[in-house]
């Protein structure tokens, strides 16, 4: 599916939790940073984000943020109702290898 790398750094748990409660991983480009090893489903979710980065390039953080703002303005949850998160959850649920 993708050329990616997973970095597991336990100290990220504290740093990331300052920004997002109950977070596990963040994907930047084709690199996935997590504070613990990922399950197959969690990895599939992050691989969907790798594909989203490929699709949108350097603009991805901006379109992601814009969609989070759209969700908030609509009275929804900025993370859970973000379309990129929804797509990643659907991808992981399917267990597919294509986004």
DSSP annotation string for 26-90: EEETTEEEESSPPPHHHHHHHHHHHHHHHHHGGGHHHHHHHHHHHHHHTTS-TTTT-HHHHHHHH
| 63 token code pair | 């379109």
Relative to beta strand 25-28, strand 31-34 is antiparallel
Neighbours of 48 (CB within 10 A): 25
Predicted model pTM? 0.87
Mean pLDDT by 10 residues, the chain (99 residues): 87 84 92 96 96 97 97 94 97 72
């Amino acid at each position: 599916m993708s050329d990616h790398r997973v970095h597991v750094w336990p100290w990220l748990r504290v740093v990331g939790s300052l920004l997002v409660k109950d977070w596990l991983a963040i994907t930047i480009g084709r690199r996935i940073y997590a504070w613990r090893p990922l399950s197959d489903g969690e990895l599939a979710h992050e691989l969907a984000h790798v594909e989203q980065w490929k699709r949108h390039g350097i603009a991805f953080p901006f379109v992601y943020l814009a969609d989070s703002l759209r969700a908030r303005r609509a009275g929804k949850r900025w993370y859970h109702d973000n379309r990129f998160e929804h797509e990643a959850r659907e991808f992981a649920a399917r267990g597919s290898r294509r986004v």
